[in-house]
Each structure stands twice: as structure tokens, then as C-alpha cells.
Structure 1
Amino acid sequence: MLLNLLIFSVSVSIQWVSCHPNPHIVIVGSGAAGVAAATRLLKNNFTNITILEAESRIGGRIHSVKFGEAYVDLGANFCHGEKNNIVYSLTKDLGVLKNFPTEYRFLRSNGEILDKATASKVIKFEESVAFLEKHEKCKNLSSVGECLKIKSGDFIKSAENPKETEIFSEAYDWVESSVCSLNAAFDLNDLNITSAFQDSEGDQNLKWKGHGYKTILDIMMEKFPNAENPLPIDEKIFLDKEVTNITNWREDTATVLTNDGDKYEADHVIFTPSLGVLKASHKNLFEPDLPEDKVKAINGIGFGAIVTIIMHFPVKWWDGPADFPVMWTTEHKEKLKEENLEWLSTMTGTVQAENNTHVILSWYGGKYVPHIETLSEEEVRKGLIHLLNLFFSPRFNVTMPDKIIRTLWYSNPHFKGTYSYESVKGFLKAGVKLPETLSKPLLKNNKNLSILFAGEATSPDHFSTVHGAIESGYREADRLINFYNTKL
């Protein structure tokens, strides 16, 4: 009897192993979405995975580098929210996130610090942009840019004295740069006035205590907090492998070609590069061509960039946190034009890097972002010195930065920008959100799954965020897992 049970047990075990699927899955990209998809698959015993990464590092638009006393982030910076946020869910018990209270001190280019009452009014004006579609005069308008001009006019009229009128007039440019930076849009006339984005409740600006956003990658790969038994993902990642073509995707196996001439036959492909890459290269990347609805989604969703400039100083010359939003006086803006430094006018402000006492971060958004990326290092330094002298020297004993990092997301062909936004051209088509269309998998001739799409731009509700990217990676991994589970 015991012998019969053992034979039966061995037979069932052998049968399960032989039936358990292990298709070859090629994941293009090792950013948040790619790592999420790979780790989900590995945890469900799908081990025949190849991850092709165009860069010489993993992380995609998560890029943490050691700078000064700690890590700084050149890409994603903050965990935005807590409820229904997979980043927060994965980290909440690990002590890696912290709220760093903001203490804004508004600076004008003449060195003046706005009084708290005036600064509060400017902040409320900026925050009201999130509710522009409810503005009575904007009900028939489609873009944030159109409505913001109307709202700005009303704001200026609300000034209680000539000084406030002057400051409120200057506030428009700061709000414009801030909203462009927040949404990675070059032009607010292309930013849709209504939004399908769903905020995650809770703190919107949780920071990584100087360890960098790379921490979330380590958590997903089970290298943190305990690195003794990580998932076997490193051996499956191949760096400096730019995918140039995905052919025969309607057939049983697709062929993935890389820039060094290598070929990979895949039962399934999970494609995670940015929407910017799809906009620039989809005609050359896929053979046969993508379906028309997919192309319309690629063209209809907005995608832009911001620039982050990070400065390290030999000594800390500012008092307290360096949370300084900045506004340009009309006089100084005119001088910027004369000196070919107009790009400086798009800086939204500075903050001190967390756990990094000598480092200040600054962000630039709007139409000059592509231009800023073309500047030489010396031109960037010249501009920053001009800015520091104008805004800070009247009040602080400023020293000049000894190290500077500037991001180049827009000009990098592996990204072509930072993240997606809702374009006026069409976030909704026939009642369907374009990210949903973008996320639809391509099918083989036999109706099985061929190419699956992940990444923040495929998230209907959490686009532009890391948690949206991770959710999308899990979504596509689950799609494959469920596909094979139904076949067993």
C-alpha cells in the first residue's frame, strides 16, 4: 500500500513538472516596470526569462547616484502617497521613507523674501491649478494654459496693494514653470484641463532618507532588507543591449534583435521602454507594424521632460532647509534675454537633498528643457552663478558649487523624456482611456499572447509615477501567469 502511494506521488510530481509551463519571456527594459514583471514571474516559477537593458545600468528612470554624503536621484524622487500605492505598501514596514517638512521661503530675483501672508497667497494660487476645470470661466476650455491665463488675471486683480500687484504678476511665470515641471509638459496649452489621474491618499512627498529611489528595486529583487537570498534576477539581465527590432510577433515565436547583432527567440515579449521611445521609434521597432489604435494611443498621450540640476557646495552657506521657490522680477527677466540666459527663468526653486547637508537640488520645466540639455557644462555653471548671485548673495555668504550634475533625459535616445501626461490631443477616445489602449497586448495569429506592454504610460490612473510603473509590470506578469494557469 505504501509503495503504491509512493509510486502515485512520484507519478503526479513528474506529470506536474512536465506540464508546468516555462516559456521563454523576453523583457525589454529593466526599469521599475521591467523589474516588477520579472520578479513577479520568478516568484511564480517562470524562470526562462531574459531581460535586455539598453543602458549600462538597471533602473530606467530610477537613477540614484552617490553625490556628497548620500545618494541623490536624477530621475524619480518622491513616493507620492500611501493608500493604494504599491511603493508605499512594499516599504511601509522597512523604515526607508520619511516625511521631510517643507519650510518655503519665497525669493525674488532682487533678493527679497516674500512675507508669509503674500507667499501663502501665491502657494494657494499654484495649488488651485489642480481644480481649473471647475473654474466658471474655463468650462468650455480644453487646456491648462488657456485657463491659467484667465485665472492669473483674476489673481492679479485680487491684489490688495501695488506691491502685491507686482508680485502676483510675477507669480504667473513661476506657476507655469511649476505646473510644467510637475507634469513634464513643455507647453501648458497641450496639457488637458481635466485629469483621470487618481491621487494616492497620504503624504505626497515621502523621501528616501538619502538612500535613493533605487531602494525600491532592491526590495522587489529581495536584496533588501536581507541580501542573503535574493531572487535570481541578476543572471537574467543583459546590459548595453538596445533592442532595435521585434519581428514576426504574429508567429509562434517573435524574434528580438539587439544593436550588437544578437537574436532572441521569444514565446512572449514584455515591452517596458518609455512612451518617448515608442513615439520616436515604433515604426522601426515592430514588424509587422503596430495596429492603428495602438499608434493613435502613442501619438495621443503627451510625453515631455524636466531637467534636474544638482549642486554640491564646499560649505553649507544657507540657514535651515534650502526650500526656496524663486520668482523673477520683470526687470531681471528682461536682462536674462539680453544675456541669453532665459532658460534660468524656468527654475521652480531649490531644496536641500535629504541627509546631504552640502547639496541643493533644483528643477526646470517648460519650453527651455530641450535647450538646457544642449548647453555646455561651462554655460550651465555660468547660468547657475548668475542665479545664485541674484537670488541668494544679498542675504547669504554664497560660495559657488564645486560639483554639478545635470540630467539629460530628453536627449537620451533610450528615454526621450521623463514621463507621460494627459494631452489635449486626446486622453480619451470613444470613452476609452488611451493608456488602456496602449496596454492592450498584441496577439499571435493563433490568438495567444505575443507582445505585452508595461510602463507608467500604460497606467490609466497612476501614469507618470513609479507606483504606476510597478503596477503595470505586475499586471502584465499576471496576465501571462493567468494565461498559462487556464491552459493547465
Structure 2
Amino acid sequence: MQSSGRQAEAPGRGPRVLVVGGGIAGLGAAQRLCCHPAFPHLRVLEATARAGGRIRSERSFGGVVEVGAHWIHGPSQGNPVFQLAAKYGLLGEKALSEENQLIETGGHVGLPSVSYASSGGSVSPELVAEMARLFYSLIDQTREFLHAAEIPAPSVGEYLKKEIRQHMAGWTEEEETKRLKLAILNNLFNVECCVSGTHSMDLVALSPFGEYTVLPGLDCTFPGGYQGLTDRIMASLPKDVMVFNKPVKTIHWDGSFEEASAPGETFPVLVECEDGGCFPAHHVVVTVPLGFLKERLDTFFEPPLPTEKAEAIRKIGFGTNNKIFLEFEEPFWQPDCQHIQVVWRDTSPLEDTAPKLQDAWFKKLVGFWVLPSFGESPAPRAQECAEVPLAQCPIHPGLLQLRGRGQLRGRPGPAGPAPPCGRQGCPAPGPVCRGSHTPDVLLHHARSSAVRLEGG
């Protein structure tokens, strides 16, 4: 195969290395390799027109909206993301404080500022705190079976449900309060599903659950946007390293390829792009998303990968966490509110018969994270506006209108009322990013306050 890619460097001046994928993994690999004198000839092939992958900070709405990665979990010295963010001066004073770095959270999400039931009324903070203490004490117990000879249940979900049934035997409240307790616990189950990246805790094995290590530090965000991290890493690379709009079709490896501009030299790898361009190399670092590998495994490598590697790609799983952004003309929450928990009264973690996901997907949303007010933002065009009255309180009507949207990943959904927002401001996921944190829906309404819903 003749190369129609970049001209080869003169032979004998060091190996040529290609990094496939310009997300955080590819950028990190490139940064490390660029600092090493043994790898002077490096290129990063990125399929899209931008670097960063799932890290994307949207600013077209007047403020920072994190379409992908949002938090630094465990911001302390043991966290490489925190170290990079601190090095580049991307964090606030509180996040950088030694006091914040030493806080032990145990991996438990903090209590919400306010909780609403699906009927619209607020839920007693004391009752929420009581159920949170119960739930997280049980979660802590599930981590104790890491090296146990025998385990009491095959999955985390089954263990939690068994323990909750035992606790229920001691509840003395009226039936309505008991049902509300179960609804609160169901929301906490959804939060844990989101943290674990799973549809159900019944799919998470109990025995290895304690392997997960929680770093100290209170979770924090990037005031200027998470994308500042990937922008700074990319800025540290030589200008000719990144090659954009170069989706890779096939990686030909374990061969002997020549290039006209480098007579007498052979390369064991040749990366063929969708546009017909070819890049010969001595080494290739593949950093494409796992979902992309699963989808293209049969055609992406030539010859096929060894059986054990192919089986590993097929068997490794990943969760799906997606976000929906809403803006309201007027906030219905208090100024100091940071998180709004939604408690669906008709739900219980003990019910095995779940409704169809297409009919009840919104009940998997774990709550609203309140974003800072964006102030004045450009009004959408008339044809993009949807005149939908929003209740100042409760939350429930807004979520019901989301149900009618039904257009995740561009698929038309069932007929229903219009969404409580003016326009879809974010394109559907592209063909490259597969899996968690895909920007399925980003909704916007002019001159308003924003909340972010997140669910597994």
C-alpha cells in the first residue's frame, strides 16, 4: 500500500507513532509521548473537527453547559485529573484548599437541598435524611464482601433489597409514609445506578463491589468549563501533531508497508482513513471509545485481533449516563438550592416488575442539578419557540412534558405535548462517541435559569 498521508520523515530518525482518537486518553498519550525524546515523530488522528471527545463545554447559551464530563470526583493529590487541573490553574480556591482535599465522602452523594414528591409537595428533609442514612449504611456493608469466602447474595441489588425488607419489618408508620420511604429509597437506588453506570444494581456483582476505591475530596467542577483541561493539553502539543477530520477505517498491522518518500524503510502498521488517506507507522496507540470498538471490531483491525483481545472487547461492559438540560423563564427553587431530588410516589426498589423503559424512562432521572443563572441570552427564532406554560412549583409537570419528547438519539417518539423548552441546541451523538455521557438532548429557552437532569 502506498501512503497518501503525511510525508515520511527521513529513515533512522526515530520511530513514527500514531495515536488514533483525540479524546482525553489520546491527548494524554500524545502529551506523554511528546515529552519523550525517543518519539520525535507523532501524529494524533481525530475523526471529528475538535479534540476532547466526550469532554465538551457548550457556551452558546450564555453560560457554561457541560455536555459531557462534569465533575472531578475525589479532587485530591491521588487524582491525576485534579493534578492536571491544578497545574493549569483551572480550579477555584475552595477546590484547591487542603481542607477540601482531605474530606472523606465514602463515595456517597451529598443530601439534596430540597426534595419534591411527584404530586408536587415537598418531602420532609428529616425523612430523606433517615432513608439516606439507611441506604448508605447498607452500601457500606456491600463493600465488606470483597474477600469473603461466602456471600449472602449474588448482586448488590439483591443484597440491598433483602436488607431493606428486614428493616421494613420494624417500620411503625402509616402505610402512606411507608410507601414514601420506599419511593425515597428507589431514588437512592437510581443515584447508585448512575454512579455505577448500570441500569440496575441487580446487574452489579456483590463480591467485587468493594474493589472500587473512593479518593478523598469533595467533588468539584471547572468554573470555566471542563473543556479547558483538554484545550490546555492540546495547546501543549506541537502545532503539527493534531490531524482533524480523519476518521480511521482500518488499522493494518503485523505487516510490512512501504512509502514512496521513505525508500528502503518498512513500517509494520498502516492506518487507512475513510477518505482514502494512509499513514504508515512503527507504533499505533488506539484510544477510540469502547462502544466504537464493539461496533467496528470485525472491520477495524486487519488482520483481526487475537482471540483473547477480541473476546475482552466483546465482554467488557460500560454504563449509559445521559443528560438533559432545561431552562426555565423563572426559577421555582430557592436561591441557595443546588440539587433537587424527585421522589416518584408510585415507585419502590422492591418491585421486580418494572414498566417499559419507553413509558417511564424519566423516572430514572436522579434529580436536578441547579446551574448558575446565565442571565440574558439570545432569543430563539420564532419557529424554534414552544409556548408551554410551566408550573412555578411543582416539578412533575415539566417532567411529564419531557415524556412526550421521546426523541433520544434522533428517534421519533410517541405523540405528546411539546417539551418545556424552546429548541434543541445540541446535535445528536455522532458516529464516533458511543456509550456514556452522550449528548442526546440539549434544550434551551430564552432568558432563563437552568437545571440539569442526570440519570442512568
TM-score when scaled to structure 2? 0.69
Which residue of the other structure, out of 225, 236, 243, is the alignment partner of 1:238? 243
SS at match of 2:199: coil
Which residue of the other structure, out of 31, 34, 51, is the alignment partner of 2:23? 31
Q: CA-to-partner distance for each residue in 1:6-61, whole Å, 9 max, x for gaps?
A: xxxxxxxxxxxx99953211101111111111112222243411211122321112
SS at match of 2:198: coil
Contact 1:28–1:53 at 8 Å: present in 2 too?
yes
Q: Aligned partners of 1:312, 1:414: CA distance in 2, in Å?
A: 28
Aligned to 1:41: 33
Q: Aligned partners of 1:263, 1:256: CA distance in 2, in Å?
A: 6
- Which 5+ residue runs of structure 2 have no aligned equivalent? 1-9, 101-109, 257-266, 349-353, 378-398, 438-456
Q: CA-to-partner distance for each residue in 1:202-236, whole Å, 9 max, x for gaps?
A: 22x21112x21111113323x4xxxxxx4314x32
Q: CA-to-partner distance for each residue in 1:212-261, whole Å, 9 max, x for gaps?
A: 1111113323x4xxxxxx4314x322222221211133554211111111
Contact 1:26–1:52 at 8 Å: present in 2 too?
yes
Instruction: State which drifts further: 339-348 or 109-118.
Output: 339-348
SS at match of 1:303: coil
After superposition, the Cα gap between the structure-2 partners of 1:126 and 1:358, relative to the gap in structure 1 and judged at 3 Å, is farther
Q: Aligned partners of 1:202, 1:377: CA distance in 2, in Å?
A: 42
Aligned to 1:257: 272
Matches within 5 A, 1:100-119: 103-119=112-128
After superposition, the Cα gap between the structure-2 partners of 1:401 and 1:377, relative to the gap in structure 1 and judged at 3 Å, is farther
Q: CA-to-partner distance for each residue in 1:288-335, whole Å, 9 max, x for gaps?
A: 221222223223322131110011233334222241111111199xxx
Aligned to 1:484: none
Contact 1:312–1:358 at 8 Å: present in 2 too?
no
The answer to whether residue 203 in structure 2 is matched with residue 190 in structure 1 is yes
Name the amino acid aligned to 1:401.
Answer: C
Contact 1:309–1:406 at 8 Å: present in 2 too?
no
After superposition, the Cα gap between the structure-2 partners of 1:115 and 1:89, relative to the gap in structure 1 and judged at 3 Å, is same
Contact 1:59–1:217 at 8 Å: present in 2 too?
yes
Instruction: State which drifts further: 270-279 or 291-300.
Output: 291-300
- Which 5+ residue runs of structure 1 have no aligned equivalent? 1-17, 224-229, 386-399, 420-488
Contact 1:90–1:219 at 8 Å: present in 2 too?
no
Matches within 5 A, 1:30-429: 30-45=22-37, 46-81=39-74, 82-92=76-86, 94=89, 96-97=91-92, 103-127=112-136, 128-129=138-139, 131-134=141-144, 139-162=151-174, 163-193=176-206, 194-195=208-209, 196-203=211-218, 205-209=219-223, 211-221=224-234, 223=235, 230-233=236-239, 235-249=240-254, 251=256, 252-320=267-335, 321-330=337-346, 341-354=359-372, 356=374, 373-374=408-409, 382=417, 400-403=420-423, 412-418=430-436
After superposition, the Cα gap between the structure-2 partners of 1:339 and 1:207, relative to the gap in structure 1 and judged at 3 Å, is closer
Q: Aligned partners of 1:274, 1:341: CA distance in 2, in Å?
A: 29
Q: CA-to-partner distance for each residue in 1:124-148, whole Å, 9 max, x for gaps?
A: 3443435424389x92433223223
Aligned to 1:423: none
How many residues were matched structurally? 364
Contact 2:322–2:436 at 8 Å: present in 1 too?
no
Aligned to 1:14: none
After superposition, the Cα gap between the structure-2 partners of 1:124 and 1:261, relative to the gap in structure 1 and judged at 3 Å, is farther
Q: CA-to-partner distance for each residue in 1:132-188, whole Å, 9 max, x for gaps?
A: 24389x924332232232233234345341243111222343233222222222343
Contact 2:290–2:313 at 8 Å: present in 1 too?
yes
Contact 1:311–1:405 at 8 Å: present in 2 too?
no
After superposition, the Cα gap between the structure-2 partners of 1:417 and 1:340, relative to the gap in structure 1 and judged at 3 Å, is closer
TM-score when scaled to structure 1? 0.65
Name the amino acid aligned to 2:339.
Answer: D
After superposition, the Cα gap between the structure-2 partners of 1:340 and 1:217, relative to the gap in structure 1 and judged at 3 Å, is closer
Q: Aligned partners of 2:427, 2:192: CA distance in 1, in Å?
A: 19
CA offset at residue 64 of structure 1?
A: 1.2
SS at match of 1:282: helix
Q: Aligned partners of 2:125, 2:427: CA distance in 1, in Å?
A: 33
CA offset at residue 373 of structure 1?
A: 2.1
After superposition, the Cα gap between the structure-2 partners of 1:153 and 1:31, relative to the gap in structure 1 and judged at 3 Å, is same
In angstroms, what is the RMSD of aligned CA positions?
Answer: 3.7
CA offset at residue 407 of structure 1?
A: 8.2
Q: Aligned partners of 2:415, 2:24: CA distance in 1, in Å?
A: 30
Contact 1:56–1:239 at 8 Å: present in 2 too?
yes
Q: Aligned partners of 1:129, 1:358: CA distance in 2, in Å?
A: 43
Name the amino acid aligned to 2:238.
Answer: P
Aligned to 2:393: none
CA offset at residue 87 of structure 1?
A: 1.3
Q: Aligned partners of 2:117, 2:226: CA distance in 1, in Å?
A: 32
Instruction: State which drifts further: 117-126 or 155-164.
Output: 155-164
SS at match of 2:84: helix
